[in-house]
């Protein structure tokens, strides 16, 4: 997966690419050969991909062999930045997208058929922008695009693209400014296929944005906002998780966990049967994602802790690699299964039209703090009951309690008006408890895992190194345990929790 960063402009036919005098670091311009590109775009009949900012195309003329390219929105939802994945295709294989491309886009098409929806022929003039070391910083493409239907040209448009090659976003912005001063007019960063397809391709996406929140709106609006944020996060990170990107897996897991937490937090506002079904399935999804994520975190952790023992600990890391591959294979079975596609469809519908109760019509400011307060009281009670010798299991239970409190506070804070800052401060302090106790739990689990692998080995040097690593993890757990009281003192401050009662 590569990151595409580009600006689009509209230009007069007489526009000439200007000279650069160091703007954006550009010291030379080299004209490249002109290309004639034939691009066929694929989408569902209702244009689910285009409406979500996704394009899947088959292109001839850019390289010696035809190429399939999938472009996805980036996590920031910044339209000028997209993630791009190429798939090589043999000549004659332009009727059906590659299976890997179909798989990566599943969260957007959800199993519906993909068919040709637009065919474009582009005459592309190109210039490479070079830096002082003759390195390529960016490329300018002057595109004359023809929309083809039934082998006839139906319409034509003209646009200029500036795409980063080696330049960072600041340099690219400087180059774009120079083009604007030369007469190029900024245009919306809309994919060519979307322009060709017209209004249907710019209709609202199935992935709805969160509604605006304030204290005077109905409480059900908070439910919609929380679900929309969670579903958007889940879908956006699905392709990255499929590619094995650790951050994609992490963000997908966070999305599933937060959706579960939000549905529980707002259980008085939603139909219980509807809620329970989603919570159960989200739990299973989070568990599959968690298997992969937990192993990735453990490997990173142990690699740091065992930096001076890597040679002796090879059996440990070999075993962790094996477990991670197995966990990822199981995750992919889940993500490719019909149950997951069905869950996605129901989550998208839930974000648009959650099954709300009569209580959801109550004013946010009057109702929401009362939904979070019982969770805070339970977490506080459990924290007060802990003693210095509390078991790892009890500390972990308290961590889970505070994670739910944090998620709830973060979900409702934007709707709390004057109390929003206090609610966010409260959430940050709850997150600090979650972090401290999370460090404790990670150390405990890591030590147990190392011990388990060591007991299954008869390699004395490995067992000795494993013993040293276990000792380090036990010390890390002890340090985390010692930091816990301070984190607890910070969050139980009455002023910080005042937003729940005032």
Beta pairing partners, 7: 162
Nearest CA-CA partner of 240 in 309, 182, 284, 293: 293
User: How far apart (Å, rounded) are the C-alpha atoms in residues 348 and 294?
Assistant: 27
Residue 399 contacts residue 386 (beta carbons within 8 Å)? no
Q: Is 385 helix (H, G, I), strand (E, B) or coil?
A: coil
Q: Is 113 exposed, middle or buried (0-12, 13-18, 19+ CB in 10 A)?
A: exposed
Q: Is pTM, for the whole model, over 0.85?
A: yes
User: How far apart (Å, rounded) are the C-alpha atoms in residues 392 and 399?
Assistant: 10
388: Cβ contacts below 8 Å, ≥ 6 apart: none
Mean pLDDT of the chain: 92
What torsion do the CA atoms of 23, 28, 33, 37 make, to the nearest 10 degrees?
Answer: -20
Q: Is 336 helix (H, G, I), strand (E, B) or coil?
A: coil
pLDDT (tens, 9 = 90+) of the chain, 502 residues, equals: 788 889 999 988 888 889 998 999 999 999 999 999 999 999 999 999 999 999 999 999 988 888 999 999 876 555 578 899 999 776 666 678 999 999 999 999 999 999 999 999 999 999 999 999 999 999 999 999 999 988 888 899 999 999 999 999 899 999 999 999 999 999 888 899 999 999 999 999 999 999 998 888 999 999 999 999 999 999 999 999 999 999 999 999 999 999 999 999 999 999 999 999 999 999 999 999 999 999 999 999 999 999 899 899 999 999 999 999 999 999 999 999 999 999 999 999 999 999 999 999 999 888 888 888 899 999 999 998 888 789 999 999 999 999 999 999 999 888 888 888 999 999 999 999 999 999 999 999 999 999 999 999 999 999 999 999 999 999 999 999 999 888 888 888 788 788 887 5
Q: Is 140 helix (H, G, I), strand (E, B) or coil?
A: strand
User: How far apart (Å, rounded) are the C-alpha atoms in residues 369 and 307?
Assistant: 47
Domains of the chain, earliest start first: 2-202 (2.40.320.10), 217-362 (1.40.20.10), 363-495 (no CATH)
Nearest CA-CA partner of 4 in 126, 187, 142, 165: 165
pLDDT digits (tens, 9 = 90+) for 6-32: 999 998 888 888 999 899 999 999 999
What percentage of the chain's residues is helix, strand, coil (to nearest 5)? Answer: 55, 20, 25
| Angle (nearest 5°) at CA 302 between 301 and 307 | 110
């Amino acid at each position: 997966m590569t990151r595409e960063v580009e600006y689009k402009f509209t230009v007069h036919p007489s526009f000439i690419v200007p000279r650069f005098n160091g703007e954006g670091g550009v010291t030379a311009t080299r004209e490249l050969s002109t290309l004639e590109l034939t691009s066929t775009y694929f989408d569902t009949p209702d244009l689910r991909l285009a409406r979500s900012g996704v394009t899947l195309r088959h292109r001839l003329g850019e390289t010696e062999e035809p190429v399939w390219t999938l472009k996805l929105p980036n996590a920031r939802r910044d339209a000028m930045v997209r993630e791009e994945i190429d798939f090589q295709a043999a000549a004659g294989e332009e009727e059906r997208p590659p299976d890997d491309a179909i798989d990566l886009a599943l969260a957007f098409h959800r199993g519906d058929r993909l068919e040709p929806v637009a065919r474009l022929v582009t005459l592309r003039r190109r210039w490479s922008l070079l830096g002082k070391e003759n390195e390529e910083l960016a490329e300018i493409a002057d595109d004359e695009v023809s929309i083809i239907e039934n082998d006839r040209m139906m319409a034509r448009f003209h646009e200029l693209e500036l795409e980063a090659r080696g330049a960072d976003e600041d340099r690219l912005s400087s180059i774009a400014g120079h083009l604007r001063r030369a007469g190029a007019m900024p245009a919306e960063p809309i994919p060519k296929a979307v322009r060709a397809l017209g209004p249907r391709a710019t209709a609202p996406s199935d992935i709805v944005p969160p509604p605006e929140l304030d204290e005077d709106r109905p409480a059900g609006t908070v439910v919609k906002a929380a679900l929309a944020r969670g579903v958007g996060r889940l879908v956006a990170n699905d392709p990255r998780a499929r590619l094995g990107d650790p951050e994609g897996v992490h963000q997908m897991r966070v999305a599933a966990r937060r959706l579960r937490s939000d549905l529980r937090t707002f259980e008085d506002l939603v139909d219980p049967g509807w809620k329970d079904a989603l919570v159960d399935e989200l739990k299973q999804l989070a568990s599959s994602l968690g298997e992969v994520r937990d192993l990735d975190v453990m490997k990173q952790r142990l690699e740091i802790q065992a930096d001076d023992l890597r040679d002796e600990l090879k059996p440990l890391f070999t075993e962790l690699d094996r477990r991670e591959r197995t966990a990822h294979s199981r995750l992919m079975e889940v993500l490719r299964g019909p149950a997951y596609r069905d869950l996605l469809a129901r989550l998208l519908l839930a974000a648009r039209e959650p099954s709300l109760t009569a209580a959801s019509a109550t004013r946010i400011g009057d109702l929401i703090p009362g939904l979070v307060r019982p969770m805070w009281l339970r977490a506080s009670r459990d924290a007060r009951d802990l003693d210095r010798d509390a078991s790892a299991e009890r500390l972990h239970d308290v961590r889970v309690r505070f994670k739910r409190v944090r998620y709830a506070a973060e979900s409702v804070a934007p709707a709390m008006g004057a109390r929003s800052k206090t609610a966010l401060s409260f959430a940050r302090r709850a997150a600090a408890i979650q972090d401290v106790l999370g460090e404790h739990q990670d150390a405990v689990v890591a030590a147990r895992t190392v011990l388990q692998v060591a007991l299954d080995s008869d390699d004395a040097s490995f067992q000795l190194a494993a013993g040293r690593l276990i000792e380090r993890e036990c010390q890390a757990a002890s340090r985390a345990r010692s930091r816990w009281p301070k984190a607890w003192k910070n969050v139980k401050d009455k002023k910080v929790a005042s937003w729940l009662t005032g």
